[in-house]
Amino acid sequence: MIEAIHHYVNLQHTDWADHLIHVEAAINNSINATTGTSLTEMVFWTTLRLFLNPCDLTKLTQDVPAVSDYTKRIQDNVAMAHDHHAEAKTKQTTYTNQHRPSEPDFKVREKAYLETKDLRLCIKQKGRSTKFYSRYVSPFEISKAQPDTSNYRLKLPDEHRIHLKVHARRLK
């Protein structure tokens, strides 16, 4: 919740309490990945609307100053939140890319280890525990390399031949 409010507050951080209701409504109206519905839908059988829909603004027949001020503040807050979100995303991307190691330059016929992260489901289906399985398995020969897209095809034995995203690690 604090991260969400951070995108709405002014530069002095003095108006955070004014935004609590909007952030709470946004969180309660967010669809849960597990249930497929939002919290307000589960409780009230409908979503909560605290904001005027921009389409409804054109339908107002009377110009009520309080309503106009309220909708203007909401629009300003939403625009400010979008700006803060874009700024935060840019900063996070810049910081992440500064500390990201360069892509290894794998060549065809070199050998690389296969990370077992994406094999865990197959291991579990065979009745084995993934807890004791190695993080990387045997070095395999690279049969196709596309370093520009970080895609590599390894020559795998029959037990590992499944469609998966391959995470390779250079032999030391």
How much is the pLDDT for 52?
A: 54
Last residue of a domain, one of 41, 70, 98: 98
Flag whether 38 is in a domain: yes
**Beta bridge mates, 170:** 112
Look over the chain and give the mean of its residue pLDDT values, rounded to a whole number: 76
pLDDT digit string, tens, across residues 11-35: 667 777 877 777 888 888 888 777 7
pLDDT digit string, tens, across residues 114-137: 888 877 777 777 777 777 777 888
- Classify burial at 163, counting beta carbons within 10 Å of its beta carbon; exposed 0-12, middle 13-18, buried 19 or more: exposed
Greatest pairwise CA separation for the chain in angstroms: 74
| Pair (12, 85) in one structural domain | yes
| Pair (83, 130) in one structural domain | no
| Pair (73, 147) in one structural domain | no
| Pair (88, 6) in one structural domain | yes
Mean pLDDT of 153-165: 65
Backbone angles phi, psi at 99, to 5 degrees: -105, 5
| Pair (116, 51) in one structural domain | no
Backbone angle region of 13, left / alpha / beta, with phi > 0 → left and psi within -120 to 50 → alpha: left
Confidence of residue 88 (pLDDT cuts 50, 70, 90): confident
Long-range pairs for 99-103: beta carbons < 8 A, 24 or more residues apart: 103/147, 103/150
Retrieve residue 114's tokens. Answer: 């296969």
Confidence of residue 165 (pLDDT cuts 50, 70, 90): very low
How much is the pLDDT for 151?
A: 85
Check residue 73 and report its DSSP letter. H
| Pair (118, 89) in one structural domain | no
Number of domains in the chain: 2
Residues of the chain above pLDDT 90, percent = 2
Residue 51 has pLDDT above 50, yes or no: yes
Structural domain of residue 134, as residue ranges?
111-170
| Pair (89, 141) in one structural domain | no
Flag whether 32 is in a domain: yes
